[in-house]
Structure 1
Amino acid sequence: MSVKYTGGISHEECPTEELLNPFVHRLELETTYEKIRTAILTVVLLPIRVSIICFFVIVGWIFAYIGLWGLSDEELRQKPLDGWRKKLKHLICIIGQNCLVAGGMNISIKGRQATKREAPILVAAPHSTFLDGGIVYLVGFPSMICRRESGANNHIGKLINFTQPVYVWRDDPNSRQNSIKEIINRATSDLDWPQILIFPEGTCTNRSCLITFKPGAFYPGVPIQPVCIRYPNKLDTVTWTWEGPSAWKLLWLTLTQPYSNCEIEFLPVYTPNEEEKRDSKLFARNVRAVMAKALGVPVIDYSYDDCLLMTRAKEMHLPYAPSLVEVNKLRDRLGLQNTKTEETLIDSDSICRDCSKISYVEFVKLLNIPSNSPASQQLFKIYDKENSGLIDFREYLLGVLGIEKDKNPLDVLRIACKIYDSSGHGRLVKEDFCKAACQTLALSKEHALEIFEQADRNRLGYITIENFINFAQKKAEFASFFDISSEEKKNSRMNGEILGPNYHTKKVD
């Protein structure tokens, strides 16, 4: 039976296309058989596989160490490896392939890999797991684009450096430009550089779609070969996204499967036309379209910035953090991104007196969006998880305002206090302060209540945001909170904008 919104709209009757969120992955062992099998294989198979993998990794590391002996970082960047060092790369590839087999990977390859002369750059997608790195052992140990921190890793740094990668410092704009120049130089060089392997999405997704390709691989304007990666397994134990199982859990579950399938398909070489050579973004979009067609998935214009947005929301404990990427896309469709409607609402008297329970009709009226729009209906559905026809509008406001780039954590706390202020006069009672603090400072309710009691020194039964700031500035536990705000203000003066905290995480490649 359909649950009706006020105005006659229901979840079941809403004729909207589901908006994909490629940064979320759910994984649970659902059946008793899966749980028992995993438990048994954890005891019987896991130790054997880990031992064999460690052996191969150590042997590969030793050969890479030997291959790099006597070479400086400058020499690695200036010319390709040759002679006996180059032969060692083939040996390491064999070791790496055996390592994948030992981990239970059943890899099938379709199509033919192009030569360096035919396609200097390989473009692989979708990028969904740390296991994608294993493709380097199957395609001849190509150079990769990776973070400089990866090469400094004591465990795998030697193996990475032996591929002669193009390193990127994500926080250094000049480094990115230098990396692009290096890609162009290698792709167009007459020297015997290895092919360059790039994951143009720049981050991990759940393979439900192809997100925006970063243009780095397409700047040189040379022929590229698209490489499609699939993991056709009944139980998906490999997908590593921003919201989902940890790397250790995925590794454990993957190694306790009897085997895991991986398909690598080399598509025909894509040679850019003159227009694509001039426009790297057009080149990237067209290659993405070809790969999406081969994979049978849609293309969606999500990006690395969307990952940062969701991570910022999650670390600040904003409500519905994993869904805020979808929320922003829907707001963009509805034209809310440039109207500042939500910001105007919290500064005006037109907001509802009790926003904790509003209907769909009230929702579209407050935002001044069309009630018959599929995007409006989807936006409401995200917050109506219980299918009751009512949502807490305050959670919506805090989510969309808390992730704006020009807001630092202190600004977000002020917004939260204004949204949850039931008095309307800047006086927050216990319940109001707890909601504001828990959803912006990631505090537990008990901790928030304790802080309220300490900040309300005069026992007035309420505090103001200024009361809290005066209290928090004297507490070591909030030092990082104010340090972040100060640093962001410094960034604002230097760059003309206030950036969020450094939320770069391990899932960004």
Structure 2
Amino acid sequence: MNGKMHSETGAFSSDGMRAEILNPFVHKLELDNTYDKIKTAIFTVILLPFRVIVICYLIVTAWFLACIGLYGLSEEDLRRQPMTGWRSKLRFSILSLMRLVVIVAGFHRVKIVGKQYTPSNPRDAPVVVIAPHSSYFDAIAIVVLGAPSVVAKADTARLPFIGQLINYTQPVYVWRDDPNSRQNTIKEIIQRATSKEDWPQILIFPEGTCTNRSCLITFKSGGFYPGVPVQPVTIRYPNARDTVTWTWEGPGALKLLWLTLTQVHSSCEIEFLPVYYPSEAERRDPKLYARNVRDVMAKALGIPVLDYTYDDCRLIARAKQLGIPGATSVREVSELRAQLGLERSRIELHLIAQGPMARKRWFSAAELPCRLGLPETPAAQRLADIFVQRSSGLIHFPDYLLCAAFLCLQQEPLTQLLSYAFKLYDTTGTGRVDVNTFEEIATHCLGLCQEDAHNTFGQADLDEKGWITYDEFISFAQKKPFFSFIFTNDLAAQKPKTQ
């Protein structure tokens, strides 16, 4: 079941009202009682092997047929025109095999609500948008819809076996690391959506990343640029135990696959909503179009909407990897700081620079607005609540200041944040930190565990004097490939590895 932590609630919806929901990028799943553990163990022995063998056979067979169908076609051929003739007919055989995969996996009956729009002219509704996107099991919807062309990450094409099957849908691939990828993707969607050729419908997961289905996050506007009608489709998994949700924080892909395949039966419900015809204003403004479609889908699902994005997901993941205090709530902290004017003033960096004597380290939540020179508003109180420690009921001010510095210095190399951290946790004001203080710094902004931080201090303190300075640590780190991530402002590279 999804877990709930103190710091994972309290995100803000697009209309400024509080929505007490789970962080959409967190999913908790544990076998928390003896019965579940025994049942899972038994089915791991008697059910899992059968399903894995049959599923592998079906996927390999479908892959083989896809290889035949794609033989002689280049990537450019797949993008230039839709398949015709025998290649198009082979799609039915591949699709039949994939439907068997869904059944063998335990989804014996996928409940369909509403009616899929199948116009005589497919250009009348060339785009299908599906939400919420929460799992690789959402591929069930692709099978149910008859294998439309998907918009997917380019990395998907390199997946063993599955990559060729996705290629057979003639997908629109998104290269997230390519700065021109967004424009190229939009251009290709527009070309297909407005083409007179008999292209398959384009299927889009507009959220762009997986969530725990507690809300609908920001819809990317790329699929709405053509300004054509779209059919919204919602997907639910009404199971007693949620073994399908795959988020940034939670069980890995293999664990979810194992737990799902050891369930006797899993449920999936797909609802086709009426085709959404955009107004003239929505055709001119794809973001407005995306927001309005999201509102319709959220209402059908009975869940709130939140303006979270894939970039927010990356920000949270990076904060967690580095050990930043309040990492799971950095997206909300960023929004609150912007509302309160702290993003412009950067007062936190000035407070850190003033040194330890200018700061009181522990105080109640009610004092935080005063410390930051803010009026007592609900937003300021919420900001304080995020950093209240359960054990003491107090805020550790350095933890808040470090989180704020992390947000202020996102485009800077990690060395900048480290320099502030050394000042922040140095209680003596001498510029020297002992092993305990260094452990605090390293666990909060280098992503090290306490043992690795302790060992790193010992290596950096060459003279065994019992303390090191910021410059001494940087000099040490420059000689160690393990710490290369702290000298770049490339967000993708700033990921601490296991030592």
TM-score by length of 1: 0.89
Task: Give the corresponding residue for 1:107.
Answer: 110
Q: Find the partner of 1:287 among 282, 285, 293.
A: 293
Q: Deviations over 1:349-382 (max 9, x none)?
A: 5975451x221232221123333x3333333332
Task: Give the corresponding residue for 1:138.
Answer: 144
Is contact 2:29–2:251 with CA below 8 Å preserved after alignment? yes
Task: Give the corresponding residue for 1:3.
Answer: none
1:57 Cα offset (Å): 0.6
Q: Greater shift after overlay, 316-325 or 173-182? A: 316-325
SS of the equivalent of 1:117 reads: helix
SS of the equivalent of 2:124 reads: coil
Pairs aligned (count): 474
Q: Find the partner of 1:376 among 377, 380, 384.
A: 380
Matches within 5 A, 1:89-488: 89-105=91-107, 106-115=109-118, 116-348=122-354, 353-355=359-361, 357-371=362-376, 373-386=377-390, 388-403=392-407, 404-482=409-487, 485=488, 488=489
CA distance in 2, matches of 1:17, 1:58: 45
For 1:157, give the aligned amino acid.
G
CA distance in 1, matches of 2:283, 2:92: 33
Cα RMSD of the aligned pairs, angstroms, is 2.0
1:466 Cα offset (Å): 0.4
CA distance in 2, matches of 1:390, 1:500: 32
1:312 Cα offset (Å): 1.1
Is contact 1:308–1:503 with CA below 8 Å preserved after alignment? no
| Alpha carbons of structure 1 residues 241 and 456: separation in structure 2 relative to 1, 3 Å | same
Is contact 2:123–2:194 with CA below 8 Å preserved after alignment? no
CA distance in 2, matches of 1:364, 1:100: 54
Q: Deviations over 1:63-97 (max 9, x none)?
A: 11111011111111111001111111112111111
SS of the equivalent of 2:307 reads: coil
Q: What is the identity percentage for the equivalent residue pairs of Structure 1 and Structure 2?
A: 53
CA distance in 1, matches of 2:116, 2:357: 60
1:117 Cα offset (Å): 3.3
Is contact 1:118–1:269 with CA below 8 Å preserved after alignment? no
CA distance in 2, matches of 1:446, 1:253: 33
For 1:62, give the aligned amino acid.
F
SS of the equivalent of 2:115 reads: coil
For 1:394, give the aligned amino acid.
P
| Alpha carbons of structure 1 residues 479 and 20: separation in structure 2 relative to 1, 3 Å | closer
Is contact 1:93–1:138 with CA below 8 Å preserved after alignment? no
For 2:396, give the aligned amino acid.
D
Q: Which runs of 5+ in 1 are unaligned?
A: 1-14, 489-498, 505-509
CA distance in 1, matches of 2:435, 2:197: 69
Q: Deviations over 1:425-458 (max 9, x none)?
A: 3221222211112222222323323332333334
Q: Deviations over 1:233-256 (max 9, x none)?
A: 111111111111111111111111
For 2:344, give the aligned amino acid.
N
CA distance in 2, matches of 1:206, 1:367: 34
Is contact 2:355–2:429 with CA below 8 Å preserved after alignment? no
1:311 Cα offset (Å): 1.4
Q: Deviations over 1:240-278 (max 9, x none)?
A: 111111111111111111111111011000011111101
Is contact 1:416–1:436 with CA below 8 Å preserved after alignment? yes
1:331 Cα offset (Å): 2.8
SS of the equivalent of 2:151 reads: strand
| Alpha carbons of structure 1 residues 235 and 370: separation in structure 2 relative to 1, 3 Å | farther
SS of the equivalent of 2:235 reads: strand
For 1:338, give the aligned amino acid.
R
Task: Give the corresponding residue for 2:4.
Answer: none
For 1:21, give the aligned amino acid.
N
1:151 Cα offset (Å): 0.9
CA distance in 1, matches of 2:157, 2:18: 46
For 1:177, give the aligned amino acid.
Q
SS of the equivalent of 2:468 reads: coil
TM-score by length of 2: 0.90
Task: Give the corresponding residue for 1:10.
Answer: none
| Alpha carbons of structure 1 residues 16 and 369: separation in structure 2 relative to 1, 3 Å | farther
Is contact 1:127–1:204 with CA below 8 Å preserved after alignment? yes
Q: Which runs of 5+ in 2 are unaligned?
A: 1-16
1:16 Cα offset (Å): 7.0
1:336 Cα offset (Å): 2.6
CA distance in 2, matches of 1:200, 1:57: 27
Task: Give the corresponding residue for 1:42.
Answer: 44
Is contact 1:351–1:366 with CA below 8 Å preserved after alignment? no
